[in-house]
Chains A and B, each alone.
Chain A
Amino acid sequence: MSVAQYYETMEYGPAPEADGEARAWLKQHGAVFGHFIGGKFVVPHSGKHLATIEPATGKALAKIAQGSSADVEAAVSAARTAQPLWAKLGGHGRARHLYALARMLQRHARLFAVLEAIDNGKPIRETRDLDVPLAARHFQYHAGWAQLQEREFADQVPIGVIGQIIPWNFPLLMLAWKIAPALAAGNTVVLKPAEFTSLTALLFAELAAEAGLPPGVLNVVTGDGATGALLVENPGVDKIAFTGSTEVGRLIRQSTAGTGKSLTLELGGKSPFIVFDDADIDGAVEGVVDAIWFNQGQVCCAGSRLLLQEGIAETFRRRLVRRMETLRVGMPLDKAIDMGAVVAPVQLERIKTLVETGVKEGAEKYQAPGEIPSEGCFYPPTLLWNVHPSSTVAVEEIFGPVLVAMTFRTPDEAVMLANNTRYGLAASVWSETIGLALDIAPNLLAGVVWVNATNLFDASVGFGGYRESGFGREGGREGMYEYLKPNAWSGRKARAKALPPPTQSADKAGFGVPPIDRTAKLFVGGKQVRPDGNYSRVVLSPKGRHLGEAGAGNRKDIRNAVAAARSAEAWARATAHNRAQILYYLAENLSARGDEFARRIAEMTGVSGARARAEVDTSIERLFSYGAWADKFEGSVHAPPLRGVALAMHEPIGVVGVACPDEAPLLGFVSLIAPLIAMGNRVVAVPSEQHPLAATDFYQVLETSDVPGGVVNIVTGSRDELVKVLAEHDDVDALWVFGSQDASAIAERLSIGNLKRTLVDYGLMLDWYDRAASEGPILLRHAVQVKNIWIPYGD
């Protein structure tokens, strides 16, 4: 077009970003890459390669190595060798390296941005203005944690060798999110990038080595899912951090169960985008653009479910459809587009199929009318109107530029619909009424809530999900804990094999007046109840004396206890002051019956009277501690780079199953339930199988201490059997198992149904009298999940 023609039409015209440098880098490597192990590129053992394509054109871009078990082993071994030296370097030394990595990213910002756009298909605007600067920020921020580590994480040590598996939607940014905190904390890394998008990781590894990162600290093994599985299964890996689909997340949980590998999962989502009738509607329409048409909608936290208050729904639809008219889809390197290419043909097909299903199920489809390139993987921005919660497209994560819209009537209904999903990654709330917005945010079950905004990210603000969106946080102080372990747990010893149970001695019944029979029952919903099966198990002293009988709880008892715990939701909303008072009151009432509990412990376990008394006294002190913590283990206020704040709130996880150890039957039980209820969780506790009577005696203490019904439920019986039921129960949000390696493995393996958060001891014994190991933040951190609420402001 001539100047005169542009003058008439006022169209934008082409504005391509140059790609010469990025193509030259590929050429320099002959467009064939090995793994990056021990500080250099190495040829894959198998000699096999995978083709990686350019999604915008469908043309081959390069070949990457297919990682075999020998490659993974070599990488893990390089990381293992480097780890002690890297840890020994100290916080300041590592801070210098991380700072250098941040500067390296800034120096080569455009090369990374262009390469990422070519390899992934996303617009250069996003790689240039978001991915690369956020990645650099992540290294800079974590250089800071490395610098402060010896002071701020004095009681923690690095985990060791971390296996990290990242997705294709933000290849470089996810690399930064994963490796920056891991390296800062003193771990070394084996990273497996997605097979569609491995190039920026390889470039990063190469330039990191040039910037002085020692060999073995960061290793990159490329390949498909099979390579990822090899990394997950490698016994030399101490932790797996994974971002990707919920489906694969489940497999990883299953295959690492019982191995002692710690796990962070950042999985899928179907995040709500809620617009109230008092919102800035045009602002919210623009928010939708950033929510679902950012990165072609291939964003795990994309606001993909639009919830509109009925009164504004039609206005919103009209304005949104109008806004769609100006969206431009085009080549990733065009500087005047809003959306680029979907990552691969397989994704494009999935999107098409799901949209067809949506339309078949009654949705009205609107698509941006602008032209899209005829070759390559492109899909237009799409709105599905007239969708209902029961529609397939309202439930399934589409992972493409497709928004589904629904309506609600009241704030309550908005929350109900928003939470009506298995996921819980993010949410966006639009309202100009501060009271409404700030009331809704805490009620949304999601790890991140944006008020009048969407898709804001910063290294200082933790990111991660509730429910089946995974667990663990990336970013912030909470993110650092994912790559550290408590020093106090380092010296734990494996439990000795349990002695065979004593045989019941034949007590002769005499003619004296017997004590009044006391039947230990289960405690469910604030009531003493008989076990569903109506069987009991005899409780014996170590010498075989008959001490009493405890109910043999079964599946149905667990079901009832979980239902009672679920309906005691008000406990989560009780004030921290109120919860603190009840914990102190529990201590008071336990103290009043201290002698009786000490006698019981001595009888059951055979310890001396003094030792039993010490267990009671420590239990009382522990309840006091958590009374103290209840209103002090608070969240924090982050200061991300915007005019506003991010509130990191500590929220209870929900319903938590707890299996208690046999050692210290009262103190173990108290030490586990007290932090949970202090933070607003409701508990279904399975007391020590061998010595259950201290816990069943305790329900009378619960009854006299104003603990609301359902907050603490006690089900005695076979630990392994009951742990299995709890692990498989999809309405149990977390499961703590202390006391057995087998039960730990069962809990982790069976927790995949709803991806519960698990905390297990792998059969390693905790000293319940050691406060550093068993009291305070060390457990409180597991009793909460952090929700970050972003609140930009200004008028």
Chain B
Amino acid sequence: MTHSVLMQNPSALPVQPHARGEAQPYPVSRNGGRPLEMDWVDEIRINLSAAERRVASLPGRRTVKKDAQAAWLLKAVTCIDLTTLNGDDTAERVKRLCAKARAPVRNDILEALGFAGRGLHTGAVCVYHRFVATAAEALDGSDIPVAAVSTGFPAGLVPHDLKLKEIEASVRDGAQEIDIVITREHVLTGDWRALYAEVKDFRAACGTAHLKTILATGDLKTLRNVAKASMVCMMAGADFIKTSTGKEGVNATLPVTLAMLRMIRVYQERTGYKIGFKPAGGISTAKDVLNYQFLMKEELGRDWLEPDLFRIGASSLLADIERQLEHHVTGRYSAFNRHPVG
């Protein structure tokens, strides 16, 4: 009976206590992982058309205006993993980004919104391993963690032992979050055991650093693949599941997000663990990010709007949010050059 597990009373499961502490960067109990349950994978059904209809109707069902909208956008800023992942990155470029992460919104705007002095900052700064130490130093004294993309990002086809070494090196350099890429071949050939083993090794290599597993959903193509890969990664100990590297042909989409969020919900029902979600790539406007936030709140609840359970991988999104916030404050449409770049 593939559904027998679903029938369990959730209260009988080991629920992890979760109190939202103010100062702790990671108030959520870490995913303990669990042995691979093939039933949990085999039973997964996702109907694409139904998923599309859900996400298509949501923007018509939910919206935020005025003060509520400003608040939601400020919240989004705190969830951004401010990212630079380019071949021409340099230490100075990374430092500039870190400075922006510390001060993502102009102070006069924050003041007008009643947020001056609250130390509002982005969720993290996300870089290649080469710049982890630079970023850690630049962010020293802030609560902003450094996230390192790893395991042969973006294709993930370097030898397995080198992937583990890369993770360990980034953790040594000060990364508190490791964004790994999975081997897509394991998903495309249905080799769930191999995927589980791989991610479990990554998790072990992370130690205390948090593990974000990038599924590269644009390569996996079907929502079934995405959902199954999500479930396997969570069983293997992922703290976050993340859509994309930003380098695939198709990056984060709302239907893919819906499929992943539903898996997070099932995993929580069964294990009590709350897993985070990170869409990445292609979220470049304030309007886009609000739709993701609506979906998070509707599918998973209020807790998933905070940076410990929600991150957004983006490079140009912040600039659009800044413009919208200025418009909210002044009533005039803003321009990019009025906001300091990162």
CA A98 – CA B97 in complex, angstroms?
Answer: 58
How far is the CB of A440 from the nearest CB of chain B, in Å? 16
Cβ–Cβ contact B67 & A3, under 8 A: yes
Taking the complex as formed, is B48 at the interface, i.e. its CB lies under 8 A from any CB of chain A? Answer: yes
CA A344 – CA B297 in complex, angstroms?
Answer: 33
CA A15 – CA B294 in complex, angstroms?
Answer: 14
Contact with B along A260-283 (1 / 0, CB 8 A): 000000000000000001111111
Contact with B along A345-389 (1 / 0, CB 8 A): 000000000000000000000000000000000000000000000
In the assembled complex, which residues on chain B have CB atoms less than 8 Å from the CB atom of A277? 3
Cβ–Cβ contact B47 & A3, under 8 A: no
A315 in contact with B7 given A3-B114, A792-B49 (CB within 8 Å): yes
Contact with B along A323-338 (1 / 0, CB 8 A): 0001010000001111
CA A338 – CA B298 in complex, angstroms?
Answer: 12
Cβ–Cβ contact A795 & B67, under 8 A: no
Taking the complex as formed, is B26 at the interface, i.e. its CB lies under 8 A from any CB of chain A? Answer: no
Query: In this complex, what residue of A is CB-closest to B4?
Result: A311
A432 in contact with B66 given A2-B114, A3-B113, A6-B71 (CB within 8 Å): no
A282 in contact with B63 given A2-B114, A11-B68, A794-B48 (CB within 8 Å): no
In the assembled complex, which residues on chain A have CB atoms less than 8 Å from the CB atom of B67? 1-3, 6, 13
Residue in B49, B72, B75, B223 with the greatest tally of chain A CB atoms within 10 Å: B49
A3 in contact with B71 given A12-B63, A311-B1 (CB within 8 Å): yes
Cβ–Cβ contact B115 & A3, under 8 A: yes
Residue in A1, A10, A452 with the greatest tally of chain B CB atoms within 10 Å: A10
Contact with B along A628-649 (1 / 0, CB 8 A): 0000000000000011100000
In the assembled complex, which residues on chain B have CB atoms less than 8 Å from the CB atom of A643? 49
Kindly identify, within residues 43 to 64 of chain B, every residue whose CB is under 8 Å from any CB belonging to chain A: 45-54, 57, 60-64
In the assembled complex, which residues on chain B have CB atoms less than 8 Å from the CB atom of A453? 49-50, 53
CA A691 – CA B65 in complex, angstroms?
Answer: 79
Cβ–Cβ contact A15 & B74, under 8 A: no
Contact with A along B259-275 (1 / 0, CB 8 A): 00010000000000000
Kindly identify, within residues 263 to 310 of chain A, every residue whose CB is under 8 Å from any CB belonging to chain B: 277-284, 286-287, 290
Query: In this complex, what residue of A is CB-closest to B261?
Result: A282
Taking the complex as formed, is B222 at the interface, i.e. its CB lies under 8 A from any CB of chain A? Answer: yes
Kindly identify, within residues 101 to 121 of chain B, every residue whose CB is under 8 Å from any CB belonging to chain A: 113-115
Kindly identify, within residues 211 to 242 of chain B, every residue whose CB is under 8 Å from any CB belonging to chain A: 222-224
Cβ–Cβ contact A129 & B60, under 8 A: yes
CA A279 – CA B68 in complex, angstroms?
Answer: 37
How far is the CB of A310 from the nearest CB of chain B, in Å? 10
A7 in contact with B75 given A279-B45, A283-B47 (CB within 8 Å): yes
Interface size class of A (residues with CB under 8 A): 35 or more
Cβ–Cβ contact A283 & B50, under 8 A: yes
Cβ–Cβ contact B298 & A326, under 8 A: yes
Contact with A along B66-82 (1 / 0, CB 8 A): 11111110110000000
A129 touches which of B49, B50, B57, B69 (Cβ 8 Å): B57
How far is the CB of A331 from the nearest CB of chain B, in Å? 14
CA A1 – CA B71 in complex, angstroms?
Answer: 10
Cβ–Cβ contact B47 & A452, under 8 A: yes
What count of chain B residues pass the 8 Å CB interface test?
41
A10 touches which of B46, B47, B302 (Cβ 8 Å): B302
Q: Is the interface of B mostly helix, strand, loop or mixed?
A: helix
CA A314 – CA B48 in complex, angstroms?
Answer: 24
B47 touches which of A2, A6, A12, A280 (Cβ 8 Å): A280
Taking the complex as formed, is B6 at the interface, i.e. its CB lies under 8 A from any CB of chain A? Answer: yes
Contact with B along A101-128 (1 / 0, CB 8 A): 0000000000000000000000001001
Taking the complex as formed, is A4 at the interface, i.e. its CB lies under 8 A from any CB of chain B? Answer: yes
Taking the complex as formed, is A312 at the interface, i.e. its CB lies under 8 A from any CB of chain B? Answer: yes
Cβ–Cβ contact B45 & A452, under 8 A: no
Taking the complex as formed, is B305 at the interface, i.e. its CB lies under 8 A from any CB of chain A? Answer: yes
In the assembled complex, which residues on chain A have CB atoms less than 8 Å from the CB atom of B1? 311
Kindly identify, within residues 522 to 552 of chain A, every residue whose CB is under 8 Å from any CB belonging to chain B: none
In the assembled complex, which residues on chain A have CB atoms less than 8 Å from the CB atom of B54? 283, 286
Taking the complex as formed, is A501 at the interface, i.e. its CB lies under 8 A from any CB of chain B? Answer: no
In the assembled complex, which residues on chain B have CB atoms less than 8 Å from the CB atom of A4? 71, 113-115
Taking the complex as formed, is A14 at the interface, i.e. its CB lies under 8 A from any CB of chain B? Answer: yes
A10 in contact with B71 given A326-B298, A795-B223 (CB within 8 Å): yes
Query: In this complex, what residue of B is CB-closest to A791?
Result: B49
A283 in contact with B68 given A129-B60, A314-B7 (CB within 8 Å): no
Residue in B54, B57, B68, B69 with the greatest tally of chain A CB atoms within 10 Å: B68
CA A328 – CA B51 in complex, angstroms?
Answer: 20
Residue in B54, B61, B74 with the greatest tally of chain A CB atoms within 10 Å: B61
B64 touches which of A281, A286, A328, A336 (Cβ 8 Å): A336
Cβ–Cβ contact A15 & B63, under 8 A: yes
Query: In this complex, what residue of B is CB-closest to A309?
Result: B3
In the assembled complex, which residues on chain A have CB atoms less than 8 Å from the CB atom of B302? 10
CA A452 – CA B63 in complex, angstroms?
Answer: 27
In the assembled complex, which residues on chain A have CB atoms less than 8 Å from the CB atom of B69? 13
Cβ–Cβ contact B45 & A6, under 8 A: no
CA A792 – CA B51 in complex, angstroms?
Answer: 12
CA A677 – CA B51 in complex, angstroms?
Answer: 43
Query: In this complex, what residue of B is CB-closest to A128?
Result: B60
How far is the CB of A292 from the nearest CB of chain B, in Å? 15
Cβ–Cβ contact A283 & B46, under 8 A: yes
In the assembled complex, which residues on chain B have CB atoms less than 8 Å from the CB atom of A511? none
CA A280 – CA B222 in complex, angstroms?
Answer: 14
Cβ–Cβ contact A280 & B60, under 8 A: no
In the assembled complex, which residues on chain B have CB atoms less than 8 Å from the CB atom of A794? 48-49, 52
CA A314 – CA B6 in complex, angstroms?
Answer: 9
Query: In this complex, what residue of A is CB-closest to B328?
Result: A3
How far is the CB of A480 from the nearest CB of chain B, in Å? 29
Cβ–Cβ contact B49 & A644, under 8 A: yes
Query: In this complex, what residue of B is CB-closest to A792?
Result: B49
Cβ–Cβ contact A282 & B70, under 8 A: no
CA A338 – CA B305 in complex, angstroms?
Answer: 21
Cβ–Cβ contact A7 & B7, under 8 A: no
B63 touches which of A6, A315, A335, A432 (Cβ 8 Å): A335
CA A278 – CA B42 in complex, angstroms?
Answer: 11
A795 in contact with B63 given A3-B114, A7-B74, A13-B68 (CB within 8 Å): no
How far is the CB of B260 from the nearest CB of chain A, in Å? 12
How far is the CB of A147 from the nearest CB of chain B, in Å? 31
How far is the CB of B61 from the nearest CB of chain A, in Å? 6
In the assembled complex, which residues on chain A have CB atoms less than 8 Å from the CB atom of B114? 2-4
Cβ–Cβ contact B46 & A280, under 8 A: yes
Cβ–Cβ contact A10 & B72, under 8 A: yes
CA A452 – CA B48 in complex, angstroms?
Answer: 10
Offer 23 A-B interface pairs, CB within 8 angstroms, sorted by A.
A2-B67, A3-B67, A3-B114, A6-B68, A6-B70, A6-B72, A7-B71, A7-B75, A13-B65, A13-B68, A15-B64, A125-B60, A280-B45, A280-B47, A312-B6, A314-B7, A315-B3, A315-B6, A335-B60, A338-B61, A642-B49, A792-B49, A794-B49
List the interface of chain B (C-beta within 8 A of A).
Answer: 1, 3, 6-7, 45-54, 57, 60-72, 74-75, 113-115, 222-224, 262, 297-298, 302, 305
In the A-B complex, the 3 residue pairs with the smallest Cβ-Cβ separation, listed nearest first, are A13-B68, A283-B50, A6-B71
